[in-house]
Structure 1
Amino acid sequence: MTTGPTEQVASSRSTPDGSRADPAASRLAEPGTPAGHGDAAVPEAPAAPAPATRRYAWSGPAWLTRSRLADLLAAAVYLLGALMLTVRGWRDPDGRLLGTRPDDQGFNEWMLAHAAHATTHLKNPFFTTLQNAPEGVNLVANVGMQLTGILLTPVTVLGGPSLSFLLLLTLNLLGTGFAWYWVLSRHLVGSRAAAFVGGLFCAFAPAMVAHSNGHPHITAQWLVPFIVWRIVLLARPGAAVRNGLVLGGLVAAQFYVGLEILFLVALGAAMATIAYVLLRPREALRRAPSALAALGIAGALVLVVTAYPLWMQFAGPQHRVGHPGNPDVYSLKLGSFVAYATESIGGGPNSAKGLSANTTEEASFYGWPVLVLVAVAVAALRRELGVRVLALVGVASGLFALGSTLSWGARKTDIPAPFALINGLPIIDAMVIARFALITTVVIGLLLAFGLDRVTALAKRSDAHVGRPLRVLAGAALAAALLPMLPTPLEAKGRTEVPSFVTSGAWRDHVAEGRTLVPVPVHNMTSIYWGAASLTGFAVPQGYFLGPTSPTDDTGRWGVAPRPTAVLLTAVGAGTRPPTVTGPEREQAVADVRWWKADAVVLPSHPREAELRTVLDACFGPGQRVRDVWVWDVRPLTR
């Protein structure tokens, strides 16, 4: 039921004198519908050139038409932008961590490694005991990425998960920008320049840059434009089955790319539907039967394709409910919408301080000029229903991102905000609420594209004395608004080297497939990086993930409480206790390696290597030197 207003964004374009100018509508409109009023969006046709205008014939290769050249140029710019953002990581994919959230990158590298392992070994991609051994991790309840992981399996196997992660980040930005450009240029606007600007904003807005700090499941939005467009077409008469099947296929694919983004698309569509019903109740009622029929078909297809992972998400082992902590911790502040992000030309290290939870959640940060430009576009296009619907959705989602109370800056107030009305609802309680602003970002990108498209059409219809200054003015306004938002390259730093014992595959002589290798000290991220480097060939204790608080409490929490032996080894490694082991501690160490189903305990180079070896020798007997690590074979104790 969200179809009507969005269609009218494109199909109801009018000329300055109020008449319709949509000659292309005859091939896109519904049968029997007057030109310019069809369900499909129609680009505004350019006005015929004045007789004195000299036209030049295209002299390029036959296959390289002007439109294809424009497509290639747009893709090249998006690719260049993505490479500029990630360039510091490309200098050394295996030796550097890109962005400000290294733990998030580590987990996503492990996810890509596990997807490759599951693909090549035909294992369950939705649940595994290869992390947090032996209890395991519900991967659907974390970031998912099954489809992207499968697609990148050749890269992961041949080049490693760090290369796959960097490639995924880069392709996400390119793919998201070009997908929006494609949908806009083919269905919603007549100007390729307007489509390019819309795609550029949706791909490189602060939200996308911020989530490039370790969240590829959020930046993987290359299916979103096509899903949105198919939602627009839900009510097309006579095409309910086709529209439902196509939409269902796209939604099912996005489910396996990133479930959180799919949920945000659903929330945005729901808000657009409510706005549409409020603004045009009779029209919405007339379109409802066709839309609901197509939606029912789409829903049935999605349920069939996603039944098992949905069960895993809500009832499977190690499922969790909600998100750890108070959701308002992850809220944005009102001031964030007019400020500039940390990784932007107009921002800096302190520009976002106190306005978001961390650098990953800088989902707004548009700056005053962009908001003013969008307000002007909405005012100019206010007669178009679709623009009014988009404006309402953008404002509503922005307000939801503020959390339960309204605050301009870091200081919290008691003024209630709209999120308080939905706080605690199922699924909503698992969201990071700053990400509501991802919906606002898409709305702004679309409104900028629609506004520029209208200006371009007006300039084409005007004589040179008006058209040329109008184009210059529009270009200058866009440049002034967008330039401060342009991203700066993500920072990168060196990572701790994984021992060659792991990277060379020497571990295979000491750990059977699926059994556990225990790194010392037992640290969450050490487990993650070692497991990823082995393409999850062995299980690891603990890890970095969201799971239930306990077997009897499925409330979400980060990780698990460490076993007593893990606490002991961490304390010795930190120098906070002497390297002595009591009888009960040795018995506990044996019980813990049995719990982990360990085959080997491995100590890499460490500042307190001598003290740790003393403890491990006391617990498991003398270790042996293998390549660049010490190994304790605990198989006699655990099998």
Structure 2
Amino acid sequence: MSGRPAAPDRPTAPTAAVELSVVIPAFNEERRLAATLDAVTRHLHSAGSHWGSWEILVADDGSTDATRELVTVRSDPRVKLVVGSGNRGKGHALRLGVAASRGGHVLVMDADLATPVGELGRLEKALADGHEAAVGSRAVPGATLGDRQHRIRELLGKAGNLLIRRTTLRGIRDTQCGFKLFDGDKARAAFAASRLNGWAIDVEVLRHFQRADWPVAEVPVHWSHQPGSKVRPTDYLRFLRDLARIRIPVLRLRPADVLAVVLFLAMATALYSGRVLDPAHRYLTDSLQDQNQWEWFFAVTADNVAHLRNPLFTDLQGFPGGVNLMANTTMLGLSVPLTPVTLLLGPAVTLSLVMALGLAATATAWYRLIVRRLVRLRPAAFAGAAVAAFAPPMISHANAHPNFVVLFMIPPIIERALRLTTGARVTRDAVVLGLMAAYQFFLGEEPLLLAALGMLLFAVAYGVVRPDVARSAARPLLNGLAIAAAVCLPLVLYPLAWQFSGPQSYSGIDHGTAPGVANSVRALLSFAERSLIAGDAGRADALSLNPTEQNAFYGWPLALLAFAITVGLWRRPAVKALACTAAAAAVLSLGPSIALPLTGTTIPGPWTLFAGLPLFESVIESRVALVCAPALGMLLALAVDRLAHARRLSTQYAGLLAVSVALLPLLPAPLKSEPRTEVPAFFTDGTWKAYVRPGETLVPVPLAEPEDAEALHWQTATGLGFRMPGGYFNGPYGDGDRTGVYGVPLRFTASLLRDVRYTGVVPVVDARARAATREDLAYWRAGALVLAPQPRVERLRETVEKLVGRPGRRVAGVWVWDLHEGTQNRS
């Protein structure tokens, strides 16, 4: 990581007391510097020079020879020495020299005088023509070359310039010629914003000019190689590293940024501490059956990819109809690229890595967005990002739903959409936005839909607060969104068609009106089950669908704090828009009918505007409250930043105390885990292979279903070696009814065995029941029925014996009924 500049991040440009400042970086230049200073002084004194006032600043980079003395002994007060701390690089020296300059124009040149100072006139003309910077170039028509450098160095230089043009700067052929003239104020701003200490500072500064839309001219000059170069072979590697830091901002993290990432990773690891060290043998208690399901999703995707099969469909579950994987949350954006990990280490390890690392990456993404768009104070950004990623509803989904936890693409999507509003580089940003949206589509469609809803709420609120900004931003934003859609849709059109029209597709899932489908006001103000100090499992369960769908539970202290922040910072447009976004999302999450607290009165809710729309019809409306998490986090970041700049310590202490009180109930306890049920040896040692022929299925007793999907774990333990009917996935209710359901419609045998599982009552089995069972087994192409140890196993065994007409055999820890005629002594 490069060192931080000695100059402040945003220095105030000094009054232009002189017309021209010449900045010369120097390190051990005692042999060449005197001649260079003489040449520059003579030129500026000459009759042809129109510079009435000027200064020369030699920025010393920790020289150990007489370089400094060559400057200090000069009698001309316009020749000055700027001293840095140690030998930190040309970039650091330039940053110091430009920061100390006072010129209306700033000329940056090398001490070796490779480009004669007489070429300054060409650069002056370019600035007079309206450019803000003029770059001396050896690569444009009109340039002349004297002595050439070594052929290898020349080739390396050309390769570097080509790399820069292709990756970092557009339209500039030669960035490394050390002869450049800048508008003074803009030079000081650009160099102050720079972070690199090596040669690549030239690229970083010019990139700053291009991003600010300050015109840059490339001017042909005469250049001649001078002996005594300070460039070493290893410097080329540092140059490539610095280029990467310019191109990829995450590589330019400050120490505080690195600490934030480490803390987010530690927080995610602590949350999953009960499972992260032994994912194959630990089960998240509150995930219900979702851990089995998600591991199966990762396993089946890896299996499809490894065997070059369609990753959007499988018949390993729900046989013979199969599973439309695109209509389920398989997270192809991660499950496909992580195929090698799944095949090598198993789906349990893959899921554990995705959940823990994905949560930390999501927090990091929110942190980066807040730093870039809201506050510069890192602790404030950390607090806001922690709320956005680790809020109670996120912790609830962390049990079982990686698609709602791994949201690292949402903040960059928001950032790219905000860029569109400026009107600069609309096409480029729109193309990137379209690609980002397409990738998020393959991570989770519902989170993308909720993010779009949250962005719409924010845009409407901000437009009401700042109509002038909205009017200027509307056209580039809409144009950019149209381009983004044109990029995204072709990439997702076929998967969408498969999802909604392919085999086993469905139109939507009706979640009904059970408690927790929509939030209540009590749910929004209560504390979450996994709160470290205020958790109330009974209350949370009563106000939610299940432990994985506790989509509110922000707590009344945070609600009060958000209200206080809104009132205290109401003048800021961003605060108004964020507060309105959080409030609107909270109200929408209350569903189509809102029960007013303490009144017994129910009124229509605004969710009715969305409930019947395509895509929204399958959304569990309580999940809309997830939009509140980043909005509240950003309000918190703004408040902490304001407190840090408060004049009175008493105000800071009182404010931070209020923040602490509001956040303490949100601290999550580690997720509960327990030892995992062992897979019977019948599956782990391969015994099952003797009972299931190609094209046949293995039928678990009872069939796998959303309430008990342990059979999916059997499948993954065998490397997905067999098919089975039933399962845990989303599919249509039947051939004629495309309403979505969890699992599959139960046939006679499946329904009967399910009843025995839950009641323990062995039914009366007659000839009609046995005939129906034979029909079901033929429909499933069953090779064997398998009953593993479980509650009421004896009642289930008795029932199966009656249905099949013969007893099963105890084999490798399970009961097996071989359905092949005439088969004997299978083991």
Fold match by TM threshold 0.5 = yes
Paired position in structure 1 for 2:361: 175
SS in 1 for 2:611: coil
Give 2:495's match in structure 1, choosing from 309, 312, 317: 309
User: What 5-or-longer segments of structure 1 have no aligned partner?
Assistant: 1-10, 12-21, 34-61
Paired position in structure 2 for 1:195: 381
Residues 294, 330 of structure 2: 8 Å contact kept = no
Hey, what's the Cα distance between the residues in 2 that align with 1:531 and 1:308? 29
Residues 207, 364 of structure 1: 8 Å contact kept = yes
User: What 5-or-longer segments of structure 2 have no aligned partner?
Assistant: 1-9, 11-187, 194-207, 215-241
Hey, what's the Cα distance between the residues in 1 that align with 2:546 and 2:367? 30
1:167-566 aligned within 5 A: 167-327=353-513, 329=515, 330-344=517-531, 345-407=533-595, 413-456=601-644, 458-459=645-646, 462=647, 466=648, 468-511=649-692, 515-524=696-705, 525-566=709-750
Amino acid at match of 1:405: S
Give 1:76's match in structure 2, choosing from 244, 262, 275: 262
Deviation at 1:226, TM superposition (A): 0.8
**Shift in alpha-carbon separation, 1:134–1:31, aligned structure 2, 3 A:** same
Larger displacement relative to structure 2 (391-400 or 332-341)? 332-341
SS in 1 for 2:571: coil
Residues 581, 615 of structure 1: 8 Å contact kept = no
Paired position in structure 2 for 1:599: 783
Hey, what's the Cα distance between the residues in 1 that align with 2:803 and 2:446? 47
Residues 547, 557 of structure 1: 8 Å contact kept = yes
Larger displacement relative to structure 2 (187-196 or 439-448)? 187-196
Q: CA deviation digits over 1:178-213, x for unaligned, max 9?
A: 111122224432111111111111111101111112
SS in 2 for 1:517: strand
Paired position in structure 2 for 1:59: none
Residues 762, 799 of structure 2: 8 Å contact kept = no
**Shift in alpha-carbon separation, 1:604–1:339, aligned structure 2, 3 A:** closer
Deviation at 1:516, TM superposition (A): 1.9
Paired position in structure 2 for 1:51: none
Hey, what's the Cα distance between the residues in 2 that align with 1:490 and 1:550? 37
Amino acid at match of 2:761: T
Deviation at 1:65, TM superposition (A): 11
Larger displacement relative to structure 2 (504-513 or 521-530)? 504-513
Paired position in structure 1 for 2:293: 107
Hey, what's the Cα distance between the residues in 2 that align with 1:325 and 1:567? 22
Hey, what's the Cα distance between the residues in 2 that align with 1:202 and 1:572? 45
Residues 328, 433 of structure 1: 8 Å contact kept = no
Hey, what's the Cα distance between the residues in 1 that align with 2:735 and 2:803? 33
Hey, what's the Cα distance between the residues in 1 that align with 2:590 and 2:209? 41
**Shift in alpha-carbon separation, 1:600–1:199, aligned structure 2, 3 A:** same
Paired position in structure 2 for 1:5: none
Paired position in structure 2 for 1:38: none
**Shift in alpha-carbon separation, 1:328–1:436, aligned structure 2, 3 A:** farther
Give 1:612's match in structure 2, choosing from 794, 797, 810: 797
Hey, what's the Cα distance between the residues in 2 that align with 1:311 and 1:637? 46
Amino acid at match of 2:357: L
Amino acid at match of 2:325: L
Q: CA deviation digits over 1:554-591, x for unaligned, max 9?
A: 1222222322223444556665226x864444443332
Paired position in structure 2 for 1:46: none
| Structure with greater strand percent | 2
Residues 371, 377 of structure 2: 8 Å contact kept = yes
Residues 385, 630 of structure 2: 8 Å contact kept = no
Residues 354, 409 of structure 1: 8 Å contact kept = no
SS in 1 for 2:624: helix
Deviation at 1:327, TM superposition (A): 4.8
SS in 2 for 1:90: coil
TM-score relative to the length of structure 1: 0.83
SS in 2 for 1:476: helix
Residues 527, 541 of structure 1: 8 Å contact kept = no
Residues 144, 259 of structure 1: 8 Å contact kept = no
Hey, what's the Cα distance between the residues in 2 that align with 1:469 and 1:565? 72
SS in 1 for 2:327: coil
Amino acid at match of 1:485: L
Higher gyration radius (CA): 2
Greater relative CO, 1 or 2 (CA 8 Å, sep 6+): 1
**Shift in alpha-carbon separation, 1:432–1:620, aligned structure 2, 3 A:** same
Hey, what's the Cα distance between the residues in 1 that align with 2:482 and 2:271? 41
Give 1:628's match in structure 2, choosing from 807, 813, 818: 813
Q: CA deviation digits over 1:501-548, x for unaligned, max 9?
A: 223344344435664211123242143232233343322211122222
Amino acid at match of 2:814: V
**Shift in alpha-carbon separation, 1:305–1:32, aligned structure 2, 3 A:** closer
Deviation at 1:595, TM superposition (A): 1.2
Residues 74, 178 of structure 1: 8 Å contact kept = yes
Hey, what's the Cα distance between the residues in 2 that align with 1:163 and 1:209? 20
Deviation at 1:175, TM superposition (A): 1.4
Residues 355, 409 of structure 1: 8 Å contact kept = no
Hey, what's the Cα distance between the residues in 1 that align with 2:755 and 2:625? 42
Paired position in structure 2 for 1:17: none
**Shift in alpha-carbon separation, 1:92–1:409, aligned structure 2, 3 A:** farther
Hey, what's the Cα distance between the residues in 1 that align with 2:456 and 2:478? 13
**Shift in alpha-carbon separation, 1:406–1:521, aligned structure 2, 3 A:** closer
Hey, what's the Cα distance between the residues in 2 that align with 1:352 and 1:23? 53
Q: CA deviation digits over 1:414-439, x for unaligned, max 9?
A: 22222233332222111010111111
Residues 324, 558 of structure 1: 8 Å contact kept = no
Paired position in structure 2 for 1:577: 762
**Shift in alpha-carbon separation, 1:540–1:618, aligned structure 2, 3 A:** closer
Residues 401, 434 of structure 1: 8 Å contact kept = yes
**Shift in alpha-carbon separation, 1:612–1:413, aligned structure 2, 3 A:** same
SS in 2 for 1:140: helix
Paired position in structure 2 for 1:144: 330
Q: Percent identity?
A: 38
Hey, what's the Cα distance between the residues in 2 that align with 1:415 and 1:152? 48
Paired position in structure 1 for 2:236: none
SS in 2 for 1:547: strand
SS in 2 for 1:553: coil
Amino acid at match of 1:437: A
**Shift in alpha-carbon separation, 1:514–1:160, aligned structure 2, 3 A:** farther
Hey, what's the Cα distance between the residues in 2 that align with 1:414 and 1:618? 51
Residues 331, 443 of structure 2: 8 Å contact kept = yes
**Shift in alpha-carbon separation, 1:423–1:508, aligned structure 2, 3 A:** same
**Shift in alpha-carbon separation, 1:168–1:99, aligned structure 2, 3 A:** farther
SS in 1 for 2:785: strand
Hey, what's the Cα distance between the residues in 1 that align with 2:322 and 2:601? 41
Deviation at 1:351, TM superposition (A): 4.0
Residues 378, 387 of structure 1: 8 Å contact kept = yes
